[in-house]
Structure 1
């Protein structure tokens, strides 16, 4: 089965101008002007997207596929994510994680959920672990999970600088980073340590201590929720100047003292941080608890999946070129997680994960591995129980 997207402006995410895109099976076969069906090659569908923008599907590196929360008791556990919510947001690749609750939600359950979403049409990966140290695993260790389980690409989300963390010391965190690094080396995966960072005064100090005192490279750490407050953003800027990367959370905009991901990125750009060092994730289906000064939960919301799309629109509304605004949700996370060039780009040979923007960057069409999952803004493929 072949599909030709005709007449759109292609952002790969670099602006390639008006081009046609040929999808052959699950991959992009060609990007060029004037691509026409070839008689005898088989059925070819032609979709006219003249005046539209063709961009890579979003890569969301932090999604609570099984739900999250529970900090307010059993009734505050958030529900599992469903396929339609993911694809309607323009996301075609997700990395699932556990959060505060590594007890009633398990690594085996997370793996099963990731496999089910893959069967329904998108690409899925997972982190092994949860907030606590030592982390829950499937095979007994972070290293062996990475080596033996295809979908495990790193360890996380391990909590630091947060009253909900297990209060790990630098030596424990360094050991986890080393386990993830070696597991990644042996399996050819990223092996990153994905870190939930809270509002505690220590912020990123443990990462700085570890990269100073050990041989573990700064690239092993991917701290997230960096836009919780200005102090944490400034710590993140310091980390990037040492060669590190930082992840902003789209859902943080509703929290006290927090910045939107777009605000944080624009500030970092003004401070000379390269756009390639920054990513955005949704924290999708996770809980967004609000705690008072005594650590008691005073409010709770559920993070949606639409944050990546919203932040791209926010960045462009603030004057950033679309080719740059797309990088934190496409090519940057794909490279950090060693999923590039299959993910995060529209180059020939990459997976046909594609979003077509209409007017005002509205999502009109979504393809995942060549299969159309959204047509004219409506989900056309549903999960088993949607």
Structure 2
């Protein structure tokens, strides 16, 4: 299949001007001021008045559902393909959360494979909150090495629901995952769910100081969930580590607000990313541990946060895009294919109108949404 996008304002994510973009199969074949006289017929999209940007990459989604902390009826629902498409997300990383018992890594793998078959790009993390970790092969490092879609491992720390691993255990886990990544040419990352406990990032800092495991092996997320953790997150970036901000943290600074403050401090832009925690349950607890309320997060918070950064926080679009596209791709070692609009890269792109509303979605060269109408739904979304 060939696809030609004409006269779009291209943000790659850096602004490169008004261009024509030719897609052949799943790849971007050519970017030029004008492309005419093609030898074969192709589908043409009129990009005039629209902004062509990389598809968003959401690296933290509970694609099989999460939660269950208020009983079985609070298990959150499985992600549907149309939710990704209507949110401009073309690449997703699935993972488990609190529930690593009724939610299995095997089921996560199957859902990851299904999303790939339905037309987007999907990866996953092995493990969950707990330790020893649920795995497919019997060991987390083997999952990373032998299962193509597994990029790293998930673990919870500094949380009342975490397994409370020791510093030595944290070092050993991180070391094994890093080596597994080296052997399989993957990022080999340890994604750390950060809770509200006072310990914050202290266990991570101690593990780094007491070992030779590189700081970029550790990937703390939800760092904007409280003021102390956020401050520690800024210090972590200053040391050369990645941090991930979560959308929709009620009562806490938004990812955009955190990034604006980080910019004011002169911190490295390339070390910060944003994710949705989509289909995970959000919950509030009393001081005695009683569950007060629970709900489910959505993946559309990514696009909403991008819009807010540009329209309300006055962050230039070409910079705001970094935290949702190229930074995430580089952090996951897939920047040669994802997160950029350039020749030879995967054809994962979205068209935004003047108000940054989603108009068109292209995933792996397929038009999944056009003129604000979804064209590709999940296999059973329209079943009777």
| TM-score, length of structure 1 as denominator length | 0.97
Indicate which of 335, 338, 360 corresponds to 1:340: 335
Number of matched residues? 380
Question: Per-residue deviation at 1:251?
Answer: 2.5
Q: Structure 1 residue 43: deviation in Å?
A: 2.3
Could you say which residue in structure 2 is the equivalent of 1:55?
53
Determine if the alignment matches structure 1 residue 291 to structure 2 residue 285.
yes
Give SS of 2:334's match. Answer: coil
CA contact (8 A) 1:290 1:298 kept: yes
Residue 137 to residue 329, structure 1, CA distance change in 2 (3 Å): same
2:238 match: 241
Q: Using the alignment, how far apart are the partners of 1:35 and 1:251 within structure 2?
A: 42
1:1-386 to structure 2, matched below 5 A, reads 1-39=1-39, 42-156=40-154, 158-252=155-249, 254=250, 256=251, 258-317=252-311, 318-386=313-381
Q: Indicate if the aligned counterparts of 1:281 and 1:308 stay in contact, CA closer than 8 A.
A: yes
Separation in 2 of the partners of 1:341 and 1:320? 26
SS of residue in 2 equivalent to 1:326: helix
Tell me the distance in 2 between the aligned counterparts of 1:281 and 1:358. 22
- Offset from partner CA, 1:154-194 (integer Å, 9 cap, x none): 101x1111101111111111111111101000000000000
List runs of 5+ in structure 2 lacking aligned partners.
Answer: none
Aligned mates of 1:5, 1:294 — CA distance in 2? 57
CA distance in 1, matches of 2:14, 2:2: 24
Looking at structure 2, the residues matched to 72 and 359 of structure 1 have their Cα atoms a distance apart, in angstroms, of: 42
SS in structure 2 opposite 1:251? coil
Name the CA distance, whole Å, in 2 between partners of 1:240 and 1:111: 31
Distance, in Å, in 2 between the alignment partners of 1:45 and 1:122 is: 19
Q: For the residues of structure 2 that align with 1:122 and 1:112, how far apart are their CA atoms? A: 14
Equivalents in 2 of 1:219, 1:269: separation in Å? 20
CA distance in 2, matches of 1:38, 1:379: 27
Indicate the larger mover: 54-63 or 310-319.
310-319
CA displacement, residues 101-160 of structure 1 (integer Å, 9 cap, x when unaligned): 00001010000000011100000000000001111111011111111100000101x111
Query: Match of 1:359, SS?
Result: coil
Between the aligned partners of 2:370 and 2:296, the Cα distance in structure 1 is 26
Runs of 4+ in 1 over 4 A off after TM superposition: none
Once the two structures are TM-superposed, the CA of residue 74 in structure 1 deviates from its matched residue by 0.6
Query: 1:133, 1:172 within 8 Å by CA — same for their partners in 2?
Result: no
Aligned-partner Cα distance in 1 for 2:229–2:207: 18
CA distance in 1, matches of 2:169, 2:37: 58
Q: Any idea what SS the aligned residue of 1:50 has? A: coil
8 Å CA contact 1:107–1:137 kept in 2: the answer is yes
Shift of 1:274: 1.7
